[in-house]
Amino acid sequence: MSKPYSRLDLDQAVILLVDHQAGLLSLVRDIEPDKFRNNVLAVADLAAYFRVPTILTTSFEEGPNGPLMPELKAKFPDAPFIARPGQINAWDHADFVAAIRATGRRQLVIAGVVTEVCVAFPALSAIAEGFEVFAITDASGTFDPLVRDAAWNRMSAAGVQLMTWFAVACELHRDWRRDVEGLASLLSAHIPDYRNLMTSYAALKGAIPSRAA
């Protein structure tokens, strides 16, 4: 059964970065490591660019899961950071849910490692409590495409919208006239082909004489 189109709203969105930890990152095999890291950092950059409230969380850092990606802590030094002592489902930690509710927002944009657990479990829990949930597929990873696909199917069936970071950025931006250079710079920083497009555009624009000339 199809559902009506529900757009991301800058005034309603909050970004959740769940368990992008050194140990867990070593499990990601459904996306190339360099590409995956780029995608995660793209989400961080778009969150900062659009000034979307962002919440960071980790699970059992002192164990094999390891510490959070240092780039994320550096990007969001003042963001809520919930270090869960053991809860596998982030939604089971009261401080994590409280941080989300404190934003007053209803659209949760979530990415994490690994997809079928660290993304799917809190996404499904949030859906059950009436939130809109958007999972960023290319900034979430796991150890096998079959496992990933099962997680995507489970979330989608429950009403989670599956998106890529590029789609999230464009849907939040809505209109090029909002800030051409800003969005173009964000996209160019993480998509080589888009950087080529903008380089070509800049060269062409510079080669065309102005009317005043």
Instruction: Give tens-digit pLDDT for 140-190.
Output: 999 999 999 999 999 999 999 999 999 999 999 999 999 988 999 999 999
Residues 197, 118 share a domain: no
Q: Is residue 6 part of a domain?
A: no
pLDDT per residue as tens digits for the range 15-63? 999 999 999 999 999 999 999 999 999 999 999 999 999 999 999 999 9
Question: Are both 47 and 148 inside the same structural domain?
Answer: yes
Residue 76 has pLDDT above 60, yes or no: yes
167 and 180 within one domain: no
- Indicate whether 87 belongs to any domain: yes
Counted residue by residue, the chain has a size of 213
Indicate the number of domains in the chain: 2
The per-residue pLDDT of the chain, averaged, comes to: 94
pLDDT of 201 above 90:
no
40, 111 in Cβ contact below 8 A? yes
Question: Same domain for 75 and 170?
Answer: yes
Query: Considering the domain boundaries, does residue 1 fall inside one?
Result: no
Which range marks the domain in which residue 202 is found?
Answer: 175-208
Asked if residue 109 is part of any domain, the answer here is yes
Whether residues 117 and 17 share a domain: the answer is: yes
- Each as own residue / partner, the long-range contacts of residues 171-178 (CB below 8 Å, 24 or more positions apart, any chain) are 171/7, 171/8, 172/8, 172/10, 172/13, 172/46, 172/50, 172/52, 173/50
Cα separation, 59 vs 66, in Å, equals 8
Question: 91 and 33: one domain?
Answer: yes
Catalytic (active site) residue 118:
yes
Q: Would you tell me how many other CB atoms lie within 10 Å of the CB of residue 9?
A: 14
- Indicate which residue of 28, 40, 47, 118 is catalytic: 118
Q: Which residues contact 83 (CB under 8 A, 6 or more apart)?
A: 57, 58, 61
Tell me what pLDDT residue 4 has.
86
Whether residue 194 sits in one domain with residue 132: no
- Which band of pLDDT confidence, cut at 50, 70 and 90, is reported for residue 207? low
Quick one: which of 9, 11, 18, 7 has its CA closest to 99?
18
Domain-located, residue 8: no
Tell me the C-alpha distance between 30 and 147, whole Å. 9
Tokens matching residue 107: 């659209």
Regarding whether 199 and 170 lie in a shared domain, the answer is no
Does the residue 3 lie in any domain?
no
The Cα-based distances of 34 to 21, 29, 44, 197 in angstroms read: 15, 11, 15, 22
CA 80 – CA 58 distance, rounded (Å): 11
